[in-house]
Chains A and B, each alone.
Chain A
Amino acid sequence: MSAQQAVLELRSSASSASAATLLTTSAAAPVLAQKPRTRFYSSWSPRWLALPFPLFLLLLWYAAAQFEWVAPQVLPSPQSVLLTFVDLVASGEMFDNLKISLLRVLLGFGVGLAGGLLLGVAMGLSPVFKDYVYPLFKAFSQVPVLGWLPLLMLLVGIDEALKIILISKAALVPIALNTYKGIENVPARYVEVARVLKFSRWQLLTRVIFPAALPPIWNGVRYGFTHAWLALVVVELLASSEGLGYMIVFGRQLFQLDVVMAAVVVVGAVGYVLDRGLARVEIVLLGWRRSGF
């Protein structure tokens, strides 16, 4: 830290004499066993700095609603959003809808995860299987999840099946792709070690291939989950009669933007929590990787 301040003072000091003294003092100071961080910007950054900006926005919002700079249907006041939120939680409506959304996304993601892993593993381990399946798979993956929506709507209507299929497709593609590539890219070096140590096929799979392929597979899982969550929200916005997305749409129809905002906040919060959860799991699974600095 002291070397840090020395740099700052060096830059701001005009005289070379003071610069020279700073250099000598910092040279005399004990060397910290610290890797040089990328310090080319000012580094004054106390924690509380996170607060002013959101507070400012909040204030702006409050004022805008209070003085009706825009119609209340367009911008409800922060108090009304808070009240509505409390209302929805108290009446149980929030939890009901949240529960439905969560169940949907977990089910859809589960299906997509299972399918994606299976497909990815099959393509990764069997080049013949990959030759048959990959081109078609690649073609299908060119169409984003939403592109399939009208087609699926025609085929299966608008009830649960639609949502689960869409969500699982959203998760399946990145998971399958990353799993396949992850397995394919396992360095031959490790496989040779396994051969020399006479690993059985099963041992090779479980002790070499999967640990080595786990980082890219996990990336695929996280990406797949993000997409699953995205698909959930969209499909609930478009074709649902319950769930968080439905709340948003419903509130919007009735110009009850406070309901919309409350639901949006919950969508954000849940998305955050789930993502953090996945990050936690990642630390456990992949803690052996050297952490970047």
Chain B
Amino acid sequence: MSQAGTLDIQHLSKSYPVKDGDLAVLEDVTLTITPGEFVSIVGSSGCGKSTLLRLIVGLEDDYRGQVLLDGERIVGTSLRRGIVFQEHRLFPWLTVENNIQLGLLNADLTPGQKRLAVREHIALVGLEGFEKSYPHQLSGGMAQRVAIARALVSKPEILLLDEPFGALDALTRAYLQQELHRIWQAEGITMILVTHDVEEAIYLGDKVVVMEPRPGRIRRIVPVGLAHPRERAAVGFAEVKQEVLREFSGDSASLAAPPLRSGAAEPDEPRQWRFAI
């Protein structure tokens, strides 16, 4: 069991400079996440949920407000906060086990301990036998599982997931949701999932944070009081789903408008990155 962390987000705001002034992507987001909790964040496009995740993991900076992990202000990225992106982002030139091992590159363990950790996590995500495979030999679902293993192998306190199953087909998605749930129960770490799939959010989360766009802010937090394992067809489930969906129906204007150009957009072309020299 990894150590779980308390995440405290206080009055988080972020805006991007655009031609005439600033574009507010997130406004006054306040959220507390208790250790070991599973929080789902849903919202239509442009509500800033991916930006929120990127701020928490430390890939974006320049914000107002505070983000505290166990009372400490977060600065940049850290092995205590792991992330799984929508694309698996495995390094194509490495095998599965070498990709997972990357998570431990800067960990304070002996090579033997690292090998053990990698083996454990391959078993955790159910990919025994594929240690020496290359990413292009894996299906989308399998590759994403490797990405999850890579994120978990360094035993972070928080795992962030940015629409991790969005690029997969419905059957694989359903299967991986179950797997994620099992992993969460096994590891016991805090997890924050961003998704546009309301059912997925309810299936996995202890609470569902509904966000709305322009500017991105929390509209409502819907607690999910259902016991595990959850049945999507059950009445209780449907009731929570209704509650969440109701937050969207009144906001039909937001669904028609074009999405905000937040930094979370994953372009196909390589984005400009630079060393500071």
**Residues of A bordering B, CB below 8 Å:** 125-129, 184-193, 195-201, 203, 207-208, 211-212, 214, 288-290
Chain B hits for A208, CB < 8 A? 91
- Assuming the contacts A126-B277, A192-B59, A201-B275, asked whether A289 and B106 have C-beta atoms less than 8 A apart, the reply is no
Query: Would B105 and A199 count as touching, CB distance under 8 A?
Result: yes
Chain A hits for B166, CB < 8 A? none
Q: How far is the CB of B251 from chain A (nearest CB, A)?
A: 31
Q: How far is the CB of B60 from chain A (nearest CB, A)?
A: 10
Q: Pick the most buried of B82, B271, B273: most chain A CB atoms within 10 A of its CB.
A: B273
Interface check B184, CB cutoff 8 A: no
Chain A hits for B105, CB < 8 A? 197-199, 203, 207
Query: Would A198 and B77 count as touching, CB distance under 8 A?
Result: yes
Interface check B141, CB cutoff 8 A: no
- Assuming the contacts A189-B85, A207-B102, asked whether A198 and B277 have C-beta atoms less than 8 A apart, the reply is no
Please, which residue of chain B has its CB at the minimum distance from the CB of A184? B270
Chain B hits for A189, CB < 8 A? 85, 87, 89, 266
Residue from the list A125, A184, A198, A290 in contact with B136, Cβ < 8 A: A290
A sample of 11 inter-chain contacts (CB < 8 A) reads A125-B277, A126-B275, A186-B273, A193-B102, A195-B59, A196-B81, A198-B77, A207-B91, A207-B105, A208-B91, A211-B94
Chain B hits for A200, CB < 8 A? 106
Report Cα–Cα, A78/B82, bound state, in Å: 71
Report Cα–Cα, A245/B59, bound state, in Å: 57
- Assuming the contacts A289-B92, A290-B136, asked whether A196 and B270 have C-beta atoms less than 8 A apart, the reply is no
Report Cα–Cα, A129/B271, bound state, in Å: 19
Q: What 1/0 flags go to B148-190 for Cβ under 8 Å of A?
A: 0010001000000000000000000000000000000000000
Please, which residue of chain B has its CB at the minimum distance from the CB of A208? B91
Residue from the list B79, B87, B277 in contact with A128, Cβ < 8 A: B277
Q: How far is the CB of B151 from chain A (nearest CB, A)?
A: 8
Chain B hits for A212, CB < 8 A? 91, 93
Please, which residue of chain A has its CB at the minimum distance from the CB of B277? A126
Known pairs A191-B273, A196-B82; list 14 more (Cβ under 8 Å): A184-B270, A187-B270, A188-B271, A193-B85, A193-B89, A197-B77, A197-B103, A197-B106, A197-B154, A211-B91, A211-B93, A212-B91, A288-B134, A289-B92
Q: How far is the CB of A181 from chain B (nearest CB, A)?
A: 11
Query: Would A198 and B106 count as touching, CB distance under 8 A?
Result: yes
Q: What 1/0 flags go to B78-99 for Cβ under 8 Å of A?
A: 1101110101010111100000
Ranked nearest first, the 9 interchain pairs of A and B with the lowest CB-CB distance are: A188-B271, A290-B136, A126-B277, A211-B93, A288-B93, A188-B273, A187-B270, A191-B273, A189-B89
Q: How far is the CB of A243 from chain B (nearest CB, A)?
A: 39
Interface check B19, CB cutoff 8 A: no
Report Cα–Cα, A229/B230, bound state, in Å: 69
Interface check B224, CB cutoff 8 A: no
Please, which residue of chain A has its CB at the minimum distance from the CB of B82? A196
Interface check B246, CB cutoff 8 A: no
Q: Which of B101-133 contact A (CB under 8 A)?
A: 102-103, 105-106
Q: How far is the CB of A84 from chain B (nearest CB, A)?
A: 49
- Assuming the contacts A189-B266, A208-B91, asked whether A199 and B106 have C-beta atoms less than 8 A apart, the reply is yes
Q: How far is the CB of B261 from chain A (nearest CB, A)?
A: 16
Q: How far is the CB of A205 from chain B (nearest CB, A)?
A: 9
Report Cα–Cα, A10/B78, bound state, in Å: 64
Query: Would A196 and B271 count as touching, CB distance under 8 A?
Result: no
Interface check B57, CB cutoff 8 A: yes
- Assuming the contacts A126-B275, A193-B89, A211-B93, asked whether A198 and B270 have C-beta atoms less than 8 A apart, the reply is no
Chain A hits for B94, CB < 8 A? 211, 288
Please, which residue of chain B has its CB at the minimum distance from the CB of A191? B273
Q: How far is the CB of B153 from chain A (nearest CB, A)?
A: 10
Report Cα–Cα, A190/B87, bound state, in Å: 11
Chain B hits for A185, CB < 8 A? 270
Q: How far is the CB of B97 from chain A (nearest CB, A)?
A: 14
Query: Would A125 and B275 count as touching, CB distance under 8 A?
Result: yes
Report Cα–Cα, A211/B94, bound state, in Å: 9
Report Cα–Cα, A188/B106, bound state, in Å: 21
Chain A hits for B91, CB < 8 A? 190, 193, 207-208, 211-212
